[in-house]
Amino acid sequence: MSMHSNYHCIILEIRNLSKYSVMARSQGHMEIATVCSKLMLCVECPQVDKSGWNTCSITKVQCVGGVRVNSASDSVPMVVHPRFMVFCLSFWYASRFEHVLRRVVRGKYTKLYCDEFTLSEISAMIVSDSEIVKMAVDNFINALSHVHRTMNNFLVIPKRGSETLSNFSI
């Protein structure tokens, strides 16, 4: 039950990340809103693009290389300046955490391995797996904190006594 409750809190935070895109759009920062939306929808992690000169989608400044924030299957790449790499990775990781966690768990607990155990035994193994908790959850907390700090400063969101976006209504 504790794991389910914690998972529900994480999912709530992930869903609330979309508020940043809405808030950026409402303040006239269409480029930021578009980048955030693309990051939330893209299954692929943002990729470093070193193929010559690009125009940053946010600042419209020419830069060597960049970070591709949309899917490789999209015909037109959306690239941002390399200085936004940490933000893009953090926003993508936090907003796609369910996907990342699923991939990590499926990679470690394959169907062949899990056929020997019951569902409750597998759940107990995952809960006690400190590698997954330390790696995935700690990275999620760090990524979410970075996104909150960056967007709160950029959008000038007043402090409300909580680091979560859940308390902020649009």
Whether the per-residue pLDDT at 5 is higher than 80: the answer is no
Please state, in angstroms and rounded to a whole number, the distance separating the CA atoms of residues 138 and 132: 9
- Kindly state whether residue 112 falls inside one of the protein's structural domains: yes
Whether the per-residue pLDDT at 17 is higher than 70: the answer is yes
- Kindly state whether residue 98 falls inside one of the protein's structural domains: yes
In order of 1, 3, 94, 154, 155, the CA distances from 32 in angstroms are 38, 34, 16, 10, 10
Full domain range(s) for residue 147:
2-42+85-155
- Kindly state whether residue 55 falls inside one of the protein's structural domains: no
- Kindly state whether residue 164 falls inside one of the protein's structural domains: no
Whether the per-residue pLDDT at 161 is higher than 70: the answer is no
- Tally the domains of the chain: 1
Whether the per-residue pLDDT at 148 is higher than 60: the answer is yes
State residue 169's pLDDT score.
Answer: 36
State residue 168's pLDDT score.
Answer: 41
Q: 84 or 157: which carries more pLDDT confidence? A: 84
pTM: 0.81
| Closest by Cα among 58, 95, 50, 99 to 78 | 58
Whether the per-residue pLDDT at 121 is higher than 60: the answer is yes
Whether the per-residue pLDDT at 129 is higher than 60: the answer is yes
State residue 23's pLDDT score.
Answer: 92
- Kindly state whether residue 72 falls inside one of the protein's structural domains: no
Contacts of residue 29, Cβ cutoff 8 Å, sequence gap at least 6: 154, 155
Q: 129 or 7: which carries more pLDDT confidence? A: 129
- Kindly state whether residue 29 falls inside one of the protein's structural domains: yes
